[in-house]
Structure 1
């Protein structure tokens, strides 16, 4: 399909959050006329349930958007991290002095979302339509050719060559387009809160893999630290009976954890007890899905924002010309779908498997234990945790051999005792 008549826009995007704003900017820069629809009326609206973590894999997209200086000015924290395991702490460090490992940023969505929305609104070719909820898709046969949008003044029809669903894990666009979907249950739940005056060792993010429970503490902009607990659902009755007591006790018992009692909690404890993973076919005739609408992963891994940025960029790169009437749209969307699967499919497969709250499998035990003992393996794990390499590169024969050699050096000696960092007090 190369074009239609009577179009209001080339592209309509449902959802003006991370994925939608990114796609709008990158498409408009390529000459595409974009309507960016947002159901909320407040331009400062933001997502609350989020890890506020932009994976290093997203840095090139942020750079492409031109947002790096603005993020730094807003106080976004470069996301260096260490991870606790039963073998001790994994602490990735650069190989040579003066170098830094790949990074992106920790930044609260209350800062990030309005920043992206403003950026999109300033971009020539983007029309931001607040207070517009997509309630239906317009069809020409089996092809989507626009949307039915609900506004404060009633419903209106908007037509375009391409409709993009950037409308989250419960995506109405995905449901209305009838794309195939696979759901994976999550055997963990999560709660988190924001704190001030909560020092962390070296001022960096900490993550605890307690098998099956997980937790993290991440410094963000404006001196705010996000502390999340992600336990097995077997613990859920206790949390339902006493949320605050259970949450605080969980954090107090983290090895080398933050001194939560000395910090000032500035938000309520919030979270979700049921967060399944969704894997959807990211295209249909006249429709593309990006961000959580295409792939909702386990929040444990903090990949949602990074994948939203990446998938938006991939779609813009593959489909901008066709969306503007300069090529075959179906072929362009097929290329996007292939790229999306190649880039994220393996990561999602592993995330869905680990969401069963199982203990580490043999490969994970091999790599995590070696990473706690060897800086080169720790750097390799950092690349995978940052989603800069996929599972096949992470578990390539050379990496497995290196990890095996590292662990063989420890065979015969006493088992390494877990290394507990001292609590850092104000």
Structure 2
């Protein structure tokens, strides 16, 4: 059991990384009475993550609400993230039931808008000290546990002692490396490139995703009339793709079903991406240490869940450790509770994502659910809840949903095929 000491610490919590997860955690902890040092290796307060889906899934809407960011996001032009998904059986188009509540949503918003906004809110929160240009270079260790960090700062090396160190510093977390917490890696058989376009019309004005088995693509409208367009082909196509990146990217998009008209839109960024993006999972805690966001779990970018999980994990951590971080409880027990919740909520999603990242076509159960969702409004809404990470794999594949999907597909197969007009009794 950790002793609730009240002296000898510079802060209650030190967070490494003032991006989305770190800034959210700093705000939520400080509001619960925790003294927080929020360290960011970059000196520019407007810095932001470049490679991102720029989409916050609906599971994180309550966190955005608690942070008080929703009015500011809507004022900044963030777009509610409705979407439709192409499959070989047609489009899955979730819509609210007639007379029912609207579908859950969050927002598509560029990280160049989102990151400075939430970092600024963190800096303005009483109890948070935002320390720019501070890069963690070591950990303070006492009695076999972490008790702070050593950081390179604009004014030299500095030690900052705290009861808890939080790694919010991405998939290649320096804190994890220094704490000796390895990551389990899952190979991703797809590579990805994206670009930003202005004035790119999309069907219905909403996000589009294409499941091309095994290739993928998506187009998400964002703030300021900018659409993020990404392609995620199988790595078998990489050598040919690299020979002419721009030509390959544009040809890939033009060949999509109901392809967005990129030739009439303005591309405002370079085509950027990565040829190797494995999925990472690491234990979310160690003695005196916790990990949130990509530092704990890095998903497959094709699902667009990273921002939502960053916000949720920050919230779960704040709820679990706030009292203990101020010396009013057992910190080890609080970390166990956080780790348990993190695993329970995300491990099933990550297991399915890692399996699909192998670049395989849909398996039989996926074929059942996706084909039925393209034919049935209720199952399309059920798919929306899963894609928004509001329900987990067990609820998504519950016996009632599977039975309904089976019934929908049986009815579909029993329908007589429509005869072409020239073969109908009145056709000429």
Question: Does the pair score TM above 0.5?
Answer: yes
1:19-418 paired onto structure 2 within 5 Å = 19-97=21-99, 99-413=101-415
| Structure 1 residue aligned with 2:3 | 2
Task: Give the alignment's TM-score, normalised by structure 2.
Answer: 0.96
Give secondary structure in 2 for the equivalent of 1:411. helix
| Structure 2 residue aligned with 1:424 | none
Task: Give the alignment's TM-score, normalised by structure 1.
Answer: 0.96
Displacement after TM superposition at 1:180 (Å): 4.1
- Kept after mapping to 2: 8 A contact 1:2/1:326: no
Could you list the runs of 5+ residues in structure 1 that have no partner in the other structure?
417-426
CA distance in 1, matches of 2:338, 2:417: 48
Give secondary structure in 2 for the equivalent of 1:146. strand
Displacement after TM superposition at 1:98 (Å): 7.0
- Kept after mapping to 2: 8 A contact 1:3/1:161: no
Give secondary structure in 1 for the equivalent of 2:11. coil
CA distance in 2, matches of 1:98, 1:414: 32
Displacement after TM superposition at 1:178 (Å): 1.3
Distance 1:296 1:197, change over 3 A: same
Give secondary structure in 2 for the equivalent of 1:161. strand
CA distance in 2, matches of 1:360, 1:178: 37
Could you list the runs of 5+ residues in structure 2 that have no partner in the other structure?
419-428
CA distance in 1, matches of 2:417, 2:121: 53
CA distance in 1, matches of 2:251, 2:100: 39
Bigger Rg, which one:
2
Displacement after TM superposition at 1:410 (Å): 1.5
The alignment of Structure 1 onto Structure 2 pairs a total of residues equal to: 416
- Please give the root-mean-square deviation of Cα atoms over the aligned residues, in Å: 1.1
- Kept after mapping to 2: 8 A contact 1:292/1:304: yes
CA distance in 1, matches of 2:219, 2:237: 20
Displacement after TM superposition at 1:96 (Å): 2.1
Displacement after TM superposition at 1:413 (Å): 4.8
CA distance in 2, matches of 1:414, 1:65: 53
Give secondary structure in 2 for the equivalent of 1:127. strand
